[in-house]
Structure 1
Amino acid sequence: MQFGPQIAGRISRSRIWKMIKYFLYFFLGFKAASSFPLPTNNTQCYINNPAVQRFREYVQIDTSKPENLEKAVAFWSRQAVELGLVFEVHRSEGLPIGVMTWPGVDPSLPSIMLNSHMDVVPVDEEFWKYPPYSAHMEDNGNIYGRGTQDCKDVTIQYVEAIRRLKNNNVTLKRTVHVTLMPDEETGGFNGMAKFVKRIEFKQLNVGFAFDEGLASPDENMLLTYQDKRPWQIKITVKGLGGHGSSLSDGSAVQKLQRIMDAIGKYRDSQKKISNEQSIPDAGAYDSVNINIIKTGIAENVMPEKGYLVVDIRLAVSKSVDEMQQLVDSWIAEGGNGTEAKYLRRVEVSDATPTDLSRPYMQAIQEAAKEMNISIVPVLCPAASDMIILRSLGIPALGFAPKTYTPSRIHTSNEYLNAGTLLRGIDVYVNLLQKLGNLNKL
């Protein structure tokens, strides 16, 4: 984790321990965090709660399939009608981008953008304890389903916070836009990347943005101010084919193996750097994983072609040239007939300042103090649509008030506790009032 300069100089022993717990939770997964306390309220406390019901309905839409995005759009269109808000749908390459707008008293002021994405990553149902789009709720209030943490929860929290404020006749100086992107999980190429170039985005007059955030293993709520740069590369090899009984050299599998060995060796070196951090710092190393390997046409045929996809998130200090040289060395391991294609290559990821001279940070910390909660700025070890907004100079922070929650993002048995969901709505109610009434962001 990398903290803003105003925080780095004031780290206490307790804060260091909390950071270490966060590191264990995020990078070692559920088992490392399973001992942390979780809400244990009975499901009867939640089952008839309208916000919980809407959350479960949203999770039940399988938006891993692009064609189901229209069902999500219809869901949000209904919510907008109920709230008396304008809902617009813009389309890019056939994909819908939703924008729900709550006008402020002074629409000339730059607006607040509450961003999230409708799409979710695919699932392998074999590893789920409940059907992944059932939104099954256990007796303790844990709701299981793909998207419960990434990131259908935060969208519900945005809109339910607006619902509560409107029901209480609260008005804000600034206009609030809830934006719903269609393809963040696949890079945002046809969603955020194209939307920010359109006149419809410029007309939103965005001055500050929230987006999806990280779950936390303890009482701290995490505020991400910078994303690591994602590089995703498809490396294709061609080699000698033949009968499955052959021991000839130069096969596609052998070439893939050499490349995988080189990548694995580098991954081990980055894992060592990670383990040696006295204070966990996700920006100090590259994360490297081979996420797809494909080759072969039959059980008794040596394949002549194969490919792998490697997913890299660059360290903050890693130069583009240095990383490119490393990738070139992996390609060289494959020899003749090896090609590389970038599926995603982000060279710059700006940071949003989190020092307390910023009015938006003052508002966030004031809200946290009023609610007796701790909001801690951290570097995001992954990537989000905020990379694009920050590149435009818009202050953008990832935030999801998910405390005492083991991260299940992109893995099986993703869940969120209903009590955690509802508490997050309380937090956003306070944050929106503070940020939405600032004279200056």
Structure 2
Amino acid sequence: MGELAVDELCAELIRFDTTNLGAGQSRLGERAIAEFVAEYLTDFGLAPAILERSPTRSNVVTRVPGTDPSLPALLVHVHLDVVPADPAEWTVPPFAGEIRDGFVWGRGAVDMKDMCATLLTVLSRWSAAGTVPRRDLVLAFVADEEDRGQWGAHWLADHHRSLFEGCAVAIGESGGYTVRTTHTDGGPVHLYPVATAERGTAHMRLTADGRAGHGSRRNDDNAVIKLVHALSRLAAHRWPVHLTPAVRAFLRAAEPALGIEVDLTDMDKTLARLGPAAKIIENTVRNSTTPTVLEAGYAVNVIPGTASALVDTRVLPGTEDELLAEIDRLTGPGVTREFVHRQGAVQAPVESPYFDAMAAALRAFDPAAVVVPFCMGGGTDAKAFVPLGIDCYGFAPLYLPDGYDIQRMAHGVDERVPVEGLRFGVDVLDRFLSTV
């Protein structure tokens, strides 16, 4: 296979439509892109395995031997699937993989075919130069991250655990990118957040039961009204501040870097002082409960006997019992809850030689880098690997220009990644993986 520049490789990967439709369904599956990745890896002298729980839902796993077998192995996990995209909303077709105006455009450009491209480019460099890492690297290119990982990381962890033998730490998506802000003296500051924790996921269904009847008649046991009132109380509730070790560590690092005063007793004031850096932690100083789906009724003149809603609940480490008790109090009698998807919060050490090595790699190519830990508001495949005893970090390095909002790009319309950012990512990832 001919070698491609990292931007061309990213564009090529985007052209594989790996849309995950959710509920176990995929438009075309991940088989075609898995074969492409496996061929690349084979060209580098590796022995990749394509593993599937069911046809087309493909994962690729391989091991890169290191020079020192006494060192713990390191896992790099990237996902091959993407969320849906409506072409009518986009400036360019979402799976065209166009390179224009200094960006690679398309669905998955930052979530996370960019990281797949940078990782393969690093391996290409090593193959040409004869570079061998210090420790074994396990590389996992997985399916189904955008749903529940049941055809991807969670299935691999449950049924192919031996592939991850000896792995002590892992890196994956959502970290190592530039957040541009300013010091109080007006000087520019480049923050690079590295994820050391993730909130837990507790997607739940709330169900209200009542008395069915005619829509024109009084009904004091209307399930729809009961549910709407419960959701209104839940949506209006302001969850208390809970500062995790990752958020506290972020604030300790950000305070001198930005020249601000952090007030742990008034997080609203502190978030305002953080300026653009507030978006790194604003979703992880509290738990959240967001109603997203409503289901009730079948005719305008019929009061249904039941009504239900789905609520996207995100849980900070160590708070689940308190959160669930408060949800029960807010929803009140007559409304029951059940989990439709549940994964616990995860945390990795901030004080770690691996975190230090990530920071050193970023500073090697951006001397102005201030590397800070943070807690992710959502979740990744880290939740599949933590039960294997692996400390997981979000580290997919990118250099981002002024005015570029990576939070808006992920899952957004006109998703794109800067070409220069990809090249920076290759350099940083090369430094980290070859020296850690």
TM bin, normalised by shorter chain, reads 0.7 to 0.9
| 2:52 aligned partner, one-letter code | R
Stretch of structure 1 that moved more, 165-174 or 234-243: 234-243
Instruction: Say if 1:250 and 1:416 are closer, same or farther in 2 by CA, change over 3 A.
Output: farther
| Distance of 1:369 and 1:289 partners within structure 2 | 38
The aligned counterpart of 1:324 is 324
The one of 364, 373, 394 equivalent to 1:370 is 364
The aligned counterpart of 2:75 is 113
Q: Secondary structure at the match of 2:48?
A: strand
The aligned counterpart of 1:227 is 198
| Distance of 1:80 and 1:144 partners within structure 2 | 25
Instruction: Say if 1:287 and 1:143 are closer, same or farther in 2 by CA, change over 3 A.
Output: farther
Stretch of structure 1 that moved more, 236-245 or 107-116: 236-245
Instruction: Say if 1:424 and 1:294 are closer, same or farther in 2 by CA, change over 3 A.
Output: same
1:232-284 CA distance string (max 9 Å, x none):
11223344445555564433431331122011111577799863445544442
Determine if the alignment matches structure 1 residue 173 to structure 2 residue 169: no
| 2:410 aligned partner, one-letter code | I
Q: Secondary structure at the match of 1:368?
A: helix
Q: What pairs with 1:153-302 in structure 2 (closer than 5 Å)?
A: 153-202=114-163, 204-214=165-175, 215-218=177-180, 219-242=190-213, 245=216, 248-267=219-238, 275-278=268-271, 280=278, 281=281, 282-298=283-299, 301-302=302-303
Determine if the alignment matches structure 1 residue 386 to structure 2 residue 382: yes
| Distance of 1:171 and 1:182 partners within structure 2 | 27
Q: Secondary structure at the match of 1:186?
A: coil
| Distance of 2:70 and 2:146 partners within structure 1 | 33
Cα pair 2:193 2:374 within 8 Å, conserved: yes
The aligned counterpart of 2:338 is 341
Taking structure 2 as the reference length, the TM-score comes to: 0.77
Taking structure 1 as the reference length, the TM-score comes to: 0.76
| Distance of 1:423 and 1:73 partners within structure 2 | 25
Instruction: Say if 1:217 and 1:361 are closer, same or farther in 2 by CA, change over 3 A.
Output: closer
The aligned counterpart of 1:425 is 426
| Distance of 1:293 and 1:146 partners within structure 2 | 28
Cα pair 2:134 2:434 within 8 Å, conserved: no
What is the count of residue pairs matched by the alignment? 380
Q: CA deviation at 1:60?
A: 2.2
The aligned counterpart of 2:42 is 81
Cα pair 1:267 1:289 within 8 Å, conserved: no
| 1:111 aligned partner, one-letter code | A
The aligned counterpart of 2:97 is 135
Identity of aligned residues (%): 23
| Distance of 2:210 and 2:33 partners within structure 1 | 45
Q: What are structure 2's unaligned runs of at least 5 residues?
A: 21-25, 181-189, 243-264
| 2:206 aligned partner, one-letter code | I
Instruction: Say if 1:348 and 1:240 are closer, same or farther in 2 by CA, change over 3 A.
Output: same
Stretch of structure 1 that moved more, 106-115 or 144-153: 106-115
Q: CA deviation at 1:381?
A: 1.9
1:294-336 CA distance string (max 9 Å, x none):
3343455544443221112223452x22111122234435x2x
1:134-174 CA distance string (max 9 Å, x none):
23333x22233222111121121111111112212212232
Q: What are structure 1's unaligned runs of at least 5 residues?
A: 1-47, 436-441
Q: How big is the alpha-carbon RMSD for the aligned residues of Structure 1 and Structure 2?
A: 3.0
